[in-house]
Amino acid sequence: MFYGGIDEAGYGPMLGPLCVGGAVFSLSHETTERPCLWSMLDQAVTRAGRDPRRRIAIDDSKKLKGASNAKRHPLRHLERGVLCMLAMLDGDRSWLGDVHDIDVLDRLGVRMPDAPWFQGSAVPLPLGNDAGLLRLDAKGLQSAMDTAGVELHALTVRALDVPEYNTRVEGCGSKSRVNFECAASLMDRFWQSHPGLHLVMDRHGGRSDYLRDLRTSWPQAAIKTIRCDTASSDYRMEPSSGSDAALHLHVRAKADGAHLPVALASMAAKLVRELFMLRLNRFFSDLMPDLTPTAGYVEDGRRWLASVQGVLADQGLDSQALVRSR
């Protein structure tokens, strides 16, 4: 059974990229139910940020990202979970000891944009973890996955920087449509590689019905609504090649708290966004040492944007490449 999840990070901010992450696992045994991977991988994985057994935290990224003024690095849990899971894709843990942000983005399928604030020297990783301990964590995770008969097949992120985001919003007239199109691009990639996939996605803006969006994205597919109500939305999508390659899509509210693949997708998307914002803040802080960094959300983003107007003018930089249109 192939079991995957999709989730986004950065839907609401006015600065920085919209990131949509996806993860696909397989189980060695047949099942008609979506399993609890937290239980199956209990030897190495937990939901909790603090754990006396030092297991790897995998959960909704909003729960695992620390406060910016905390004693320990706010990205330590996101970094630990994503890097250790990435090591499961090829079984190689050696790179965890000598890695930077470009390496991780490349492994997640993300290209660094050309904007000047994203250029400059690479950011050494890990930021909040010990490299040697990460290799041990990854070794323990591999043992737990082998014991449970679980394998990670894909962990990737689709990142839309501001110029592309604005162009696509202008083209379709809705940021919710852009968000769905990013998710659909990952769905399609996973569907082509993992026939019979059961894919769980967090709800977009509280909507319950996705049939029209699915038919727009896959006009040639036979799409059947299995269930659509306030609790869940389930669809079976069959390509023209036959039902054996069907995609089973399950849309749930708060899916990142109930399905480990969705939680991992959420963490990967959030980590990518944070690495982008780290570079953006570093660029402007080098020009304005007293500038307080921003996470890019509207209220603080307006404060930050007002503060950098002089720098933008002095450097000949276009603020429209920084600020989302919606």
pLDDT in tens, 255-284: 999 999 999 999 999 999 999 999 999 999
pLDDT of residue 70: 77
* Average model confidence (pLDDT) across the chain: 93
- Helix 260-287 to helix 76-90 angle, to the nearest 10 degrees? 120
Helix (H, G, I), strand (E, B) or coil at 50: coil
pLDDT of residue 223: 95
Number of Cβ within 10 Å of residue 310's Cβ equals 11
Do 250 and 262 form a contact (C-beta atoms < 8 A)?
A: no
Residue 31 clears pLDDT 70, i.e. is over it: no
pLDDT of residue 241: 66
Region class of 107: left (phi > 0), else alpha (psi between -120 and 50), else beta: alpha
Residue 326 clears pLDDT 90, i.e. is over it: no
Read off the pLDDT of each residue in 237-248 and give the average, rounded to a whole number: 80
- Helix 131-148 to helix 76-90 angle, to the nearest 10 degrees? 60
pLDDT band at 243 (very low <50, low <70, confident <90, very high): low
Distance CA 137, CA 146 (A): 14
Distance CA 197, CA 246 (A): 7
Per-residue pLDDT reduced to its tens digit, 48-97: 889 999 999 999 999 999 887 778 899 999 999 999 999 999 888 989 97
Domain made up of 2-278: CATH architecture: 2-Layer Sandwich (3.30)
Residue 188 clears pLDDT 60, i.e. is over it: yes
pLDDT band at 160 (very low <50, low <70, confident <90, very high): very high
pLDDT of residue 244: 66
Q: Can you name the residues that pair with 154 across neighbouring β-strands?
A: 24
pLDDT of residue 32: 60
Q: Choose between 102 and 69: higher pLDDT.
A: 102
Is pTM beyond 0.85? Reply is yes
- Strands 247-252 and 232-238, sheet pairing: antiparallel
Cite the beta strand spans of 51-147 per DSSP E: 56-57, 99-100, 124-125
pLDDT of residue 242: 61
Residue 307 clears pLDDT 80, i.e. is over it: yes
Residue 318 clears pLDDT 70, i.e. is over it: yes
Residue 140 clears pLDDT 70, i.e. is over it: yes
- The pair of three-digit structure tokens given for residue 38, joined into one six-digit string: 């937290």
Q: Choose between 306 and 245: higher pLDDT.
A: 306
Residue 291 clears pLDDT 90, i.e. is over it: yes
